[in-house]
Amino acid sequence: MPGEFIQQKNAFESIQLKFTMKIKSLFCWIIAIAAGFPVNRLYAQKSNASVSIEKFGAKKDLGEDATEAVKNALLYIKQNKINKLVFPKGRYDFYPDQAAEKYIFTSNNDESLKRIIFLLSGFNNVEIDGQGASFIFHGYVSPFIIENSTGITLKNFSIDWERTFHSEGKIISVDNDGMELSFSEKFPYKIENGILVFRDNNKVEYPYGSLLEFDPVKHETAYMASDYYFGHGQAAKEISPGTVRLLAPGIKGTPGNVMVFNALKRLCSAITVADSRDLLFDSLNIYHCGGMGIVAQRSRDMEINHLTVTRSPGTGRVLSITADATHFVNCGGKLLIQNSLFENQMDDAANIHGIYVQVTKKFSATKVEVQLKHEQQLGFDFIRPGSKLELVHNTDMETYDTVTVKNVNRINKEYTQVTFTKPLPAQLVIGKDVLAAIDNYPEVTIRNCIIQKNRARGMLIGSRGKVLIENNTFHTSGAAILFEGDGSYWFEQAGVRDVTLRNNLFDNCNYGVWGNAVIQIGSGVQKEYRNISRYNRNIKIYNNIFNVFDPRLLNGYSVKGLSFSNNTINISEAYPNKFPGAKRFDLTDCADLKIDGL
CA 467/CA 500 separation, integer angstroms: 6
Quote the least distance from Cβ 114 to a second copy, whole Å: 10
Per DSSP (E only), the strands in 349-392 are 350-355, 357-362, 367-371, 388-392
Q: Any idea what DSSP says for residue 377? A: G
Total of residues contacting a second copy (CB under 8 A): 28
How many residues are there in the chain?
598
Instruction: Rule CB under 8 A: say whether 411 interacts with a second copy.
Output: yes
CB of 99 vs a second copy, minimal distance in Å: 6
Please state the closest distance from residue 428 (CB atom) to a second copy, in A: 20
Does residue 193 bind a second copy (CB under 8 A)?
A: yes
Q: Which of 231, 241, 250, 581 binds a second copy (CB under 8 A)?
A: 231
Give yes or no for residue 97 binding a second copy (CB under 8 A): yes
Residue 22 interacts with a second copy (CB under 8 A): yes or no: no
Min dist CB 192 to a second copy, Å, is 4
DSSP string, 35-80: TT--TTGGGTT--S-EEEGGGGT--TTS--B-HHHHHHHHHHHHHH
CB 35 to a second copy: min, Å = 45
Strand partners, 197: 190
Nearer to a second copy, 75 or 429 (CB): 75
From the list 92-100, 386-394, 454-462, 513-521, the region that binds a second copy by CB under 8 A is: 92-100
The span of 192-200, 310-318, 535-543, 587-595 binding a second copy (CB under 8 A) equals 192-200
The DSSP string of 492-512 is EE---SEEEEES-EEES---S
Cα atoms found within 13 Å of the Cα of residue 42, Cβ hemisphere only: 22
Nearer to a second copy, 113 or 426 (CB): 113
Q: Which is nearer to a second copy, 63 or 194 (CB)?
A: 194
The interface region with a second copy, picked from 231-239, 258-266, 390-398, 462-470 by CB under 8 A, is: 231-239
Binding residue (CB under 8 A) for a second copy from 89, 155, 374, 413: 413
By CB under 8 A, residue 250 contacts a second copy: no
Q: List, in order, residues 6 or more apart from 412 with CB less than 8 Å away.
A: none
Three-class SS of residue 178? strand
- Cβ 370 to a second copy, closest distance in Å? 12
Q: Tell me how far apart the alpha carbons of residues 145 and 138 are, in angstroms, rounded to a whole number.
A: 16
CA-CA distance, 530 to 448, in Å (whole number)? 35
Q: Check: CB of residue 291 under 8 Å from CB of residue 322.
A: yes
Task: Note the Cα 41 to chain centre separation in Å.
Answer: 25
- According to the binding rule CB under 8 A, does residue 414 interact with a second copy? yes
Q: Which of 99, 280, 350, 499 binds a second copy (CB under 8 A)?
A: 99
With beta carbons less than 8 A apart as the criterion, state whether 85 and 77 touch. yes
- For the CB of residue 206, give the shortest distance to a second copy in the complex, in Å: 12
Shortest distance (Å) from residue 231 CB to a second copy: 4
The smaller minimum CB distance to a second copy, of residues 369 and 550, is found at: 369
**Contact partners, residue 238, CB within 8 Å, separation at least 6:** 191, 244, 245
Q: Nearer Cβ to a second copy, position 411 or 429?
A: 411
Name, in order, each residue with C-beta under 8 angstroms of 236's C-beta and a sequence gap of 6 or more. Answer: 191, 194, 195, 196, 244, 245, 246, 247
Residue from 192, 439, 592, 596 in contact with a second copy (CB under 8 A): 192
By rule CB under 8 A, what string of x and - marks binding of each residue 105-144 to a second copy?
------x-x-x-----------------------------
One-letter identity of residue 583: K
3-state secondary structure 525-572: CCHHHCCCCCCEEEEEEECCEEEECCCCCEEEECEEEEEEECCEEEEC
Q: Which of 71/311 has CB closer to a second copy? A: 71
Q: Which of 235, 408, 593, 595 binds a second copy (CB under 8 A)?
A: 235
Residues 360-379 that bind a second copy (CB under 8 A): none
Interface with a second copy, residue 247, by CB under 8 A: yes
Kindly give, in sequence order, each residue whose CB lies less than 8 Å from that of residue 20, ignoring residues fewer than 6 positions away.
none
Q: Which of 17, 32, 51, 197 lies at the binding interface for a second copy (CB under 8 A)?
A: 197
204 binds a second copy (CB under 8 A): no
Q: Considering only residues 29, 38, 49, 101, which one is a binding residue for a second copy as defined by CB under 8 A?
A: 101
- Distance (Å, whole) CA 359 – CA 361: 6
Q: Is 195 in the site for a second copy (CB under 8 A)?
A: yes
CB of 233 to a second copy, least distance (A): 5
Applying CB under 8 A, the residues found at the interface with a second copy are 97-101, 103, 111, 113, 115, 190, 192-195, 197, 230-235, 247-248, 411-415
